[in-house]
Structures are given as C-alpha cells and as structure tokens.
Amino acid sequence: MPLDHYITLGRSGLRVSPFALGAMNFGEDPPGAGCSVEESEKILSTYLDLGGNFIDTANFYTNTHSEKILGDFFAARPGRREHVVLASKFFFNLFPGDPNGGGAGRTSIINQLDETLRRMRTDYLDLYWMHNWDRTTPIEETMRTLDDLVRAGKIRYLGFSNTPAWVTAQAQTLALLRGWTPLIALQVEYSLLARTVEGEVAPLARDQGMALTPWSPLKNGFLSGKYRRGAEVTDSARTAHVGGPDDDQYRVIEAVAGIAAELGTTSAAVSLAWLRVREGTVVPIVGARRLEHLESNLAGLDVQLSVAHLRALDEISAPDLNYPAPMHGAPRAMLQFAGTTVDGEQSTVYPPLLESDVRY
C-alpha cells in the first residue's frame, strides 16, 4: 500500500495517508534529542514526495522548534501547505509561573493555538489534539472552546490524546447532544509492546467511529530490530531515559524478528504492518531522526502478514487488561446464552442445570 492510497480519518471527510509522519524529533533542543533542520527537511521532503500528506507535531516538541521547522518549510514552498494535513497539540505549559499558560481552559487553548499558528506560519490547523486530560477544567468548557475555534476557521477537526475513555465518552456525548464539533480520532500509545489501549479506549473509538493514531508504534525503538539480548544499543536517544527491554518484551521482540527474517524485511516493518491491520481505522505515527529510519518504517506498508503470523504475534503479545475486561469475552456466552448460539457465538450451559431446576 503506497502512502498515496489515502483513508478517511474516523467518521469524517478528512483523507490521510496510511502512515502519519511524526515531527517530534524535528529540531535539536535539547541537544542530542532530535535531528537538525537539514535532516528534518530531508525526512519531510521524502515523505511528501512519496505521497504522504499527514504530519503531526505538538507545541512543546523540541521546545517549539518542531512547529517552527514545519512552518518555515511550507512558507518556503508556496502552495504546498494547502495540500497537507497539519496537526498539532495543546496542553503543556510553556510559560513557567503562569497557571493559565497551559491546560485545556478557554483562555489557554486560544492563546496556545495563536502561538502555534504563528510558529507554523499558517492561518489554520487541519487537526488539533488535546494532548492530555486537564483535570481542573470542565470538559464542556474545553469542547465549547474547540467548537468555537472550528466555527472561526482556525481549526477543522478535533482529537484527544492520552485521555481516559470515560472522559472521551463524556466529551463526545456532549458534542453530539449540543451540536458541537465531535472528535474524529484518538492519539494513543499502541504497539505490540503496549496493548492495554484495547481494554477501554480502542472499543470506544470503534463504537464512535474514531480513528486511532498510535504514537510510539515501535515502543521507544524496542521493535525497530536493533535490540538483541546481550547486545548494546548505541544509537538510540531514548534508551538512556527508558532503559532497555525486559524479558517479556524480548520474547515479543524475538518473535517479530523471526517473522521479519522469514519475510525478508525488518522488525519495524512487521510491527507497523501488525498495527495497520488492527480492527477499526488505525493510522500509525512514524517518527524518524534520520532519513533511513523513515525508509525502514515505510516498508511496513508493503508487508503482508499471514493469518498464522498475526495469530502468533497476537498470542505472544497478549496484554493483561484491567478489570472489568477479564469479565468479558467467552465466559459471557456461557452465562448469557445458556447453550444457544447467538451471532455465531456458541455457548454452553453454565453451571450445569436443567429447566426443572429453576425455581419460579
């Protein structure tokens, strides 16, 4: 699947590439964390030239440098900005000592958006994410403010990131009941090494027609193929901060590597191909500090995993989900359907009883 085989983002008319380009590493502030302006522009140009159109950043990435790199890039190329989907995020406070400098209140959202638009040298964002849940602001204030900004033409679509499912459900219900702009996508951590989103958030997204756009789809680079038991990784900027994989993670990493070797591709490509075929609309965000990282990740568009591959990856990476998820699934049929078959799901009688045993 090429980058220019577009898909609609959730329940919307916004068409995006099957992989988004994450710009978190664009810029070198703090030093060593990202990549130079020159390398950022190489990565961006390659992605766009291949037909990619979905670019994601945030106001605080590389201390705002990421947004400025994107703004300068498109300002130097008149006519290109209108043909891409630019997304950024609000929430993190960039002004020490100012309690209204961040968060999701009306004043802070408006001010953060104005600063983002200035840095990105554009009049509007195609997609604006709430980066985290603001526990001190009523969700109706946040949603009404975002709707006002959509109506003003400053943003066009809305999404949430890193937000509890119950908060997201409340926000979406308010928007639908009051005629405000609804959410079309959720940006979440999701990978073969991080699947707890499947407990609450992913089912909510499917029910409401929201897309999932996974961040860290390679789990801090653990699924990139460069991690091996007993081998030192020297080119990962994150390893020093998060440490290396544990034994359980290595079992998944090794299973991915085995499938990659069988298919003649990379572990990164296999990991991204697995994400791409998850239930619902899933658009992974691929980041890169070097051009070769992008090229390796984009190979995930060409990998076709067999049913056996998918089953093996699903089983070895199966997550332990929080209550009440363990109460659902197969036992439900035994308790609910009493030996009948409903929607193709066959049940048994549990506990064993006869109708004559029922006390009326």
Q: Which residues does the annotation mark as catalytic?
A: 61
| Relative orientation angle of helices 165-178 and 139-151, to the nearest 10 degrees | 50
- C-alpha angle with apex 285: 281 to 289, nearest 5 degrees? 165
Judge whether 77 and 84 are in contact, CB under 8 Å: no
The Cβ of residue 8 has, within 10 Å, a number of other Cβ atoms equal to 14
Phi, psi of 83 (to 5 degrees): -110, 15
Phi, psi of 37 (to 5 degrees): -60, -45
Q: Rounded distance, CA 39 to CA 52, Å?
A: 17
**Partners of residue 83 on adjacent β-strands:** none
CA 70 to chain CA mean position, Å: 20
Q: Rounded distance, CA 23 to CA 58, Å?
A: 8
For the chain, the C-alpha Rg in angstroms (whole number) is 22
Residue 222's contacts (CB-CB under 8 Å, 6 or more residues apart) are 193, 244, 245, 249, 253
Tokens of 22: 């994450």
Judge whether 80 and 48 are in contact, CB under 8 Å: yes
Judge whether 212 and 183 are in contact, CB under 8 Å: no
Judge whether 223 and 214 are in contact, CB under 8 Å: no
Residue 52's contacts (CB-CB under 8 Å, 6 or more residues apart) are 3, 4, 17, 19, 20, 21
Tell me the H-state helices in 179-290: 201-208, 239-242, 247-263, 267-276
Judge whether 281 and 206 are in contact, CB under 8 Å: no
